[in-house]
Structure 1
Amino acid sequence: MSAADVLTVAAEGGVIGDGRTGANLALGVGLIGVIIGRLALARVAGRVGTGNARIGAMAAMAVGLVGTALAVLHLATSSGGPGTGNGMVGAVVAIPLGLIAVGMGWRALARSRAAEGNAEPALGSGR
């Protein structure tokens, strides 16, 4: 079985479970990404002293991207519409949740670079 077949079967719920399970998985992954991104932002601001903010930022971006990909894959392979029990509404909610996690990770990474003094000049700054 190829990797594409495995992802398709997983998104349809064949491996994970029925209808809503794939969307719930995408929601959970997206929520974990948002939590990791929030912790990374707190580390950059100095409110949380444990861990590395750059690693947390990159983890938030990766987890958010995985959550978004799972949600899109679930939407692409689910049949029916909203309210049919296939988890389409959950997948639609999981997409922006994953994108928020990516944005929070991106922001934490930019702030950690600026805090270290390694920030590249912004476009149009004249440097």
Structure 2
Amino acid sequence: MSASAVLVAAAEGGIIGDGRTGANLALGASLLGLVIGWLAMARADGRISTGSARTGGMSAIAVGIVGTVLAVLHLATSSGGPGTGNGLVGAVVAVPLALGGMFLGRLALTRLRRAGRPGKRMAV
């Protein structure tokens, strides 16, 4: 297949995954934020003794914001509706996942502040 034929197929949406790339990126960032938030919560509760809960909480919030922005940007620029192959449903799913990651990150920071202990546990 020649380069011009590939460009024409891409412009027409004939390459599988072309419309879904933004949604997959948003989903990946959202899931990463959710996992980081969950780990930050575990660190804040003292179930995991390695790492800093404060750093994890701030990271979960930052990655959640990135996932939300990517998902909303994809929702705003995608054409068609659900089931057209543009990744619209993936972007819709990415928004609550990213918000959940931000919520868990903020909850971990709040628990650290209420407990009055530093972000990293010290060995006694």
Partner of 1:35: 35
Distance 2:115 2:40 in 1: 13
TM superposition shift of 1:117: 6.0
Q: In structure 2, what is the equivalent of residue 69 of structure 1?
A: 69
Identify unmatched segments of 5+ residues in structure 1. Answer: 1-16, 119-127
- Measured after TM superposition, the shift of residue 24 of structure 1 is 0.6
Mapped partners of 2:49, 2:41: distance in 1:
11
Alignment correspondent of 1:102:
102
Q: Find the residue that maps to 2:34 and give its secondary structure.
A: helix
- Which runs of structure 2 are paired with 1:12-51 in the superposition (5 Å)? 18-51=18-51
- In structure 1, distance between residues paired with 2:115 and 2:44: 8
CA distance, structure 1, for counterparts of residue 25 and residue 49 of structure 2? 30
Number of corresponding residues: 102
Shift of 1:64: 0.5
Q: Shift of the alpha carbon at 1:114?
A: 1.1
Q: Which residue does 1:59 correspond to in 2? A: 59
Q: CA RMSD in A?
A: 1.3
What TM-score do you get using the length of structure 1 for normalisation? 0.77
What is the DSSP-based 3-state SS (H/G/I as helix, E as strand, rest coil) of the residue aligned with 2:48?
coil
Identity value in percent: 67
Separation (CA, whole Å) in 2 of partners of 1:105 and 1:65: 11
TM-score, scaled relative to structure 2: 0.79
| Counterpart Cα distance in 1 of 2:24 and 2:88 | 10
2: CA distance, partners of 1:113 / 1:56:
14
Structure 2: runs of 5+ lacking an equivalent = 1-16, 119-124
| Rg comparison, structure with higher value | 2
